[in-house]
Amino acid sequence: MAKNKEPAFVEHITPRSEDFSQWYTDVILKADLVDYAPVRGCMVIKPYGYGIWELIQKEMDARFKATGHSNVYFPMLIPESLLLKEAEHVEGFAPEVAWVTQGGTEKLQERLAIRPTSETLFCAMYSKWVQSWRDLPMKYNQWCSVMRWEKSTRPFLRTSEFLWQEGHTIHATPEEAQEETLLMLEVYREFSENVMNIPVFTGQKSDKEKFAGARATYSMEAMMQDGKALQAGTSHNFGTNFAEVFDIQYLSKDGKLEYVHETSWGVSTRLIGALIMTHGDERGLRLPPKLAPIQVVILPIAAHKPGVLDKATELAKTLEAAGLRVELDDRDTVSAGWKFNEWELKGVPLRLELGPRDIAQGQVTFVRRDTLEKGQLPLEGIARAARDLLEEVGRALYRQAEEFKDAHTYIARNMEELTEGVQTGFVRASWCGCRECEDEIKEKTTATSRNMPFDQSDMPSDVCVCCGKPAAKVMYFAKAY
RNA sequence: CGGGGUGUAGCGCAGCUCGGUAGCGCACGUGCUUUGGGAGCAUGGGGUCGCAGGUUCAAAUCCUGUCACCCCGACCA
């Protein structure tokens, strides 16, 4: 057999190196994460894809609770008058709002927006609920879907309706609100690195790129394997901007009426897109162990031979008892070779093969999805060994992503270097801070400002990469999804 | 929104130029043989050709419109 030929399964997925976009589409469809819905721009998230989202929710929600937040549910419809209250906010979202204009057979007196985000609704309710400083802070979160009438869509990255969580909090002081804003960004960063195994750039957005109605927006930006940026989570500080418009006031300790300071923060099913584009390879998905709906797949080999299936079932039970998410693939309708490729496409982090030879020697054959490294483990103590291996897979995925990120992060001192850098990655540059330069950079390179790192100490240059005037900030630039 | 492409069986495609009984591979059903990297043979089932108009004795094929999806741009927290 010709060893240098590509294996047959490669024909089923467009090579990642050849066409990254098509590869992405092929992988999500073939791994059975989503399907296109009959509604324009909408997708159905299928069981395997939704399983990933459920695990994201579970991990994320525990972190929200641990930082003192409670879950609530707000309606999906927003009266037009409410949405129109904050001018900057409306301007930002108006072009992509879907409207309900009729109820049953009657035309509505006032149009209702299908929520593109819920700041205005939260504000309306907060203004009813807050009386005194004793009511503060209020720290709520909701898991829901929102709708934005996007012109061009891609599964998980940009769809008309998408699932997310939106946290909305109000505080007595600016200091508390800022602390909350940065705390939740930190929650997102920790989650991304430890649960998704994705390194991120955290920092503050420019005025141009900040959220409509926010005083300050912070983001985490992840680098995809084509070098483009994916905004993976945002945290906003509104100051008293919305409070003044919606009249959210409280009576302070010394008896004065004060406006509350408000924050909001969110992540969405876009994170699943980030997983795919960060870790995926030519064979398909490589899921981080903490988010894999199936962490270990067990393949009985020559399952018709006596004892094999029993032993495999026993192995599955042992691992399940140890708290692992296990699938025993005992299908007799497809060959072992087929199963190998299928589970690799679906990104299961660890595969255990159990055949007559393994059983005779009291061992199991393992294959790591991240490296495809193959070896043997004793059946004795297998649960512990499997758990250790899964942890190592997670660490290895992170290391690999981090190496890629570091190798594709460049320093630019002039426009030539910036232009070249954003072709394959992120560019760290000094910036004067003015909108004109940001626009010019986008015009010339199609790259946008991503965020300004918190550590501003290491300036690439003391003049702006674009206009040559004195530099004010270190900014990352990249092409973005 | 602009440029390019694609819609024919569950999936991948051919047929369209030049109108004349709907095809192929995979998958699926049944039987036997197989089983450690995408098994083999035999046999069988499945399609208002994206949708709507039009031309014609006759349309998957020609004409008009429309919808959806993919890629590249533009736009966009």
Question: A335-371 pLDDT, tens per residue?
Answer: 999 999 999 999 999 999 999 999 999 999 999 999 9
For residue A5, pLDDT over 60 is answered with: no
Question: For residue A119, what are the contacts with CB-CB under 8 A and spacing of at least 6?
Answer: A86, A89, A168, A213, A238, A242, A264
* CA max distance for chain A: 85
| pLDDT exceeds 80 at position A309 | yes
| C-alpha span between A51 and A319 (Å, rounded) | 19
Name the nt closest to A302 by C-alpha to C1': B35
Q: Where in chain A is the domain with CATH 3.30.110.30?
A: 409-478
Confidence grade of residue A2 (pLDDT, cut at 50, 70, 90): very low
Q: What angle do helix axes A270-279 and A382-407 make, rounded to 10 degrees?
A: 90
- Burial pattern A214-240, b for ≥16 Cβ within 10 A else e, equals bbbbbbbbbbbbbbbbbbbbbbbbbbb
Closest residue to B37 (CA, C1′)? A337
What is the 8-class DSSP label of residue A291? Answer: G
pLDDT of A284:
92
Q: Calculate the CA dihedral of residues A299, A300, A303, A308 and round it to 10 degrees.
A: -170
The CATH superfamily label for domain A294-393 reads: Anticodon-binding domain (3.40.50.800)
CATH 3.30.930.10 domain range(s) in chain A: 20-75+126-279
User: What CATH code is assigned to A409-478?
Assistant: 3.30.110.30
Q: Are A77 and A147 in contact (CB under 8 A)?
A: no
**For A362, phi and psi rounded to 5 degrees?**
65, 35
- Distance of alpha carbon A210 from alpha carbon A93, whole angstroms: 13
Q: How confident is the model at residue A20 (pLDDT cuts 50, 70, 90)?
A: confident
What pLDDT, on the 0 to 100 scale, is given for residue A6? 35
List the A369 CA – B30 C1' distance (angstroms). 37
**pLDDT tens digits, one per residue of A156-168:** 999 999 999 999 9
pTM: 0.95
Nucleotide nearest to A19 (CA to C1'): B71
Which residue do the tokens 């299936």 mark?
Answer: A309
Which CATH superfamily is A20-75+126-279 part of? Bira Bifunctional Protein; Domain 2 (3.30.930.10)
A7 pLDDT higher than 60 = no
Please, where in chain A does CATH 3.40.50.800 lie?
Answer: 294-393
A96-CA/B76-C1' distance, Å: 9
Per-residue pLDDT tens digits for A244-290: 999 999 999 999 999 999 999 999 999 999 999 999 998 999 999 99
pLDDT of A144 over the 50 cut: yes
Q: Positive or negative, the Cα torsion across A116, A120, A123, A129?
A: negative
- pLDDT grade for A16, boundaries at 50, 70 and 90: confident
A85, exposed or middle or buried, with CB in 10 Å at 0-12, 13-18, 19+?
A: middle
Average pLDDT score over residue span A415-437: 94
Q: Estimate in Å the CA A15 to C1' B23 gap, whole number.
A: 30
pLDDT (0 to 100) of residue A9: 44
* CB-contacted nucleotides of strand B (7 Å): 1-2, 28-29, 34-39, 67-77
pLDDT one-digit tens code per residue, A191-224: 999 999 999 999 999 999 999 899 999 999 999 9
